[in-house]
Structure 1
Amino acid sequence: MSDWSISRRRHPVRGHVRTHNRAALALAAALVAAWAFVAGAPTARAAGGVPTPDHTIVVVFENHAYSQVIGSSNAPYINSLKTGGANLGQFYAETHPSQPNYLAMFSGSTQGITDDSCYSPGFSSAPNLASELIAVGATWASYNESLPAQGSTVCSSGQYARKHNPWFAFSNVPTSTAKTFAQFPTNYTTLPKVSFVVPNLCNDMHDCSVHTGDTWLQNNLGAYATWAKTHNSLLVVTFDEDNRLSGNRIATVLYGQQVVAGGSSSTTYNHYNLLRTIEDMYGTSHAGQAGSATDITGIWVP
């Protein structure tokens, strides 16, 4: 009798045990995956360990220093987002006045703009967040309060100011993606992958108070923030610049399902880091100085 036959007689169920073990491991893996799905456990991770939200909204306010917002009784809603989300305590804008900062946060460069004058629309074809998202097949839109009509390139209209809407600077961003805030969807599942929301000159705190802007945020995006917490989505609240009081240190808060509640970071960041982080979330290339910036880390759910 061969050694092989003896081995088979001595261990008649070894093959069955191995088969059973493989089946048990497969079942265990399936149960873990099912639990993650049912519990809403965040699992997606992109480059640099940042998450991949189903939807990201960036809201930009105006001209207030960090200390005028974070910890202020005039901004109870933003501070509630900080408590339930993450606070970037050392976040800085690039320059003064407003307009170059908007271009920086959107394209990784001020594009040579040094003031708030109304430039010719589409003057640049440089890479930017929208053109990069479009290139990888991801959806993009901006929602601009008091914009007279979708795609309008008017410099100003009532409380609307184009200087706060950098997408109009770029010939590679369809003007049709610049929507009015009245077009902001109530069914959040229909939102683009990435959106910017820009309030008008009053509600962005430029002409009106911090409390006015804080109330506007709660009334208009509070429901989205609540939804984002259970639908793998993200809300970013930031500012263009301070009011020349604190070295351009500005408030920036992130809130969503994959953000650690009560999280914070003392790492020095700026608009280029935020741009780089969003680019890496969706696997795009990197525009301008975002290419040498680092991702925002230390605030994401493991």
Structure 2
Amino acid sequence: MRVRRSSAFRAAAILGVAVAVALVGAAQAIATPSLHRYDHVVIVLHENKNYPDVASGTNAPYLQQLAAQGALSSQSFGITHPSQPNYVALFSGTTQGLTGDGCPNTFKGKGNLFQQLGAAGISYGSYAEDLPSTGYTGCSSSKYMRKHAPWVNFDNVDKTKQWPFSSFPSDYSTLPTVSFVIPNMCDDMHDCSISTGDTWQKKHLDAYAQWSKTHNSMLITSFDEDNFTSVNQIYTSFVGSNISAGKYSEQIDHYRVLRTLEDMYGLPALGNAASRTAITDIFTG
């Protein structure tokens, strides 16, 4: 016997197909192509300088030379003001509700990049200038500030992976797979000039930048925020192997950088990074 289907039934079926197609399309839209996986990525963060003053001003010749060797984002932005929420956003995908630079903060069981890497068996670590000892959890020491070292705030991060910058190896092959470098309050340009930070990075990290080009590694140089403008545009460059040199105008932020690192190592996207796509066009394969 032939069953007659009502117009309502047919409409529902058509709607179901349409929804399914839309969902597939959405999934395809956010899917990220396979990213090149580096043996070593080092991320160095500076402080509170406007993009034009670094990218084209007279006081940052080294960072401009560095950008010319790799990929420079001409549309990179911080998340908010002041400093600390930006570091936490880059590290964990949210600001964790922070609106200031107060210390200490403790986030219990919250997802973050180092926790993800450790769970996946991938090495990680941080190198902070003027950190008085490995695993130090105090709010400040000399020109070191905990507010610029977000990993200290998370209870699921191994504190023995938090080293003074004096421990940064000369044999770069011994670096963790992913590591952060935090200059002190002068050398990160917060308390001192752009020229001071520019000179510091050339002295301490240029050798790694050059080595990275032939050793499947990458250096990311960025800032937490600009100098408190509403635009919040910052310098961000990528130098290393498998990078297509040039200036890129697509908009990126700390969440997109985090998403890129997560996709690179097969990690789930955290927080607001889940609504971003990885940066892909700067890589050659």
> With structure 2 as the length reference, what TM-score do the two structures score?
0.87
Question: 1:129 Cα shift?
Answer: 0.5
Equivalent in 123, 131, 135 of residue 119 of structure 2: 135
Correspondence for 2:214: 230
Distance 2:250 2:109 in 1: 32
Unmatched tracts of structure 2, length 5 or more: 1-31
Runs of at least 4 residues off by over 4 Å: none
Match of 1:118 in 2: 103
Give the Cα separation in 1 of the matches to 2:243 and 2:58: 24
Which has the higher mean CA deviation after the structures are superposed, 251-260 or 290-299?
290-299
Q: CA deviation at 1:124?
A: 2.9
SS at match of 1:285: coil
Amino acid at match of 1:118: C
In 1, Cα distance between equivalents of 2:248 and 2:277: 14
Contact 1:65–1:246, Cα closer than 8 Å, also in 2? no
Work out whether residues 159 and 202 of structure 1, in 8 Å CA contact, stay in contact via their aligned partners in 2.
yes
Amino acid of the residue matched to residue 258 of structure 1? N
Q: Shift in Å at residue 283 of structure 1?
A: 1.0
Correspondence 1:264 to 2:247: yes
User: By how many angstroms is 1:258 displaced?
Assistant: 1.1
1:142-193 CA-to-partner distances (Å, cap 9, x unmatched) read: 0010001110001011111100000011111011111100111110000000
1:72-83 paired onto structure 2 within 5 Å: 72-83=57-68
Q: Counterpart in 1 of 2:29? A: none
Query: Map of 1:162-241 to 2, 5 A cutoff?
Result: 162-241=146-225
Superposition RMSD on alpha carbons, in Å?
A: 1.3
Aligned-partner SS, 1:197: strand
Amino acid aligned to 1:236: I
What amino acid sits opposite 1:109 in the alignment? T
- 1:114 and 1:125 map into 2 onto residues whose CA distance is 20
Match of 2:34 in 1: 49
Query: 1:280 and 2:263 equivalent?
Result: yes
Distance in 2 of aligned mates of 1:124 and 1:56? 26
Query: C-alpha displacement at 1:239, in angstroms?
Result: 0.2
Distance 2:225 2:179 in 1: 20
CA distance in 1, matches of 2:87, 2:202: 23
SS of 1:51's partner is coil
Residue 151, structure 1, aligned to residue 135, structure 2:
yes
SS in 2 for 1:116: coil
1:61 aligns with 2:49: no
Pairwise CA distance, 1:246: 5.7
Q: Distance in 2 between matches of 1:74 and 1:48?
A: 38
Q: CA–CA distance in 2 between the matches of 1:158 and 1:48?
A: 44
> Which secondary structure does the structure 2 equivalent of 1:250 belong to?
strand
Query: What residue in structure 2 maps to residue 109 of structure 1?
Result: 94
Instruction: Report if the CA contact (8 A) 1:109-1:289 is conserved.
Output: yes
Task: Give the structure 2 partner of residue 91 of structure 1.
Answer: 76
Deviations 1:2-25 (A, max 9, x none): xxxxxxxxxxxxxxxxxxxxxxxx
Q: Compute the displacement of 1:123 (Å).
A: 2.8
Q: Distance in 1 between matches of 2:61 and 2:269?
A: 35
Unmatched segments (≥5 aa) in structure 1: 1-46
Report percent identity of matched pairs: 49
Name the CA distance, whole Å, in 1 between partners of 2:261 and 2:222.
14
Aligned residue type for 1:56: V
Aligned to 1:114, the other structure's residue is in SS state coil
| Contact in 2 for aligned 1:264/1:299 (Cα 8 Å) | no
How many Å separate the matches in 1 of 2:126 and 2:240? Answer: 20
Q: What do residues 68-100 of structure 1 show as CA deviations (whole Å, max 9, x unaligned)?
A: 100122111111111110011111101000000
Q: 3-state DSSP class of the match of 2:251?
A: strand
> TM-score under structure 1 normalisation?
0.82
Amino acid paired to 1:128: N
Structure with higher Rg: it is 1
Amino acid at match of 1:165: A
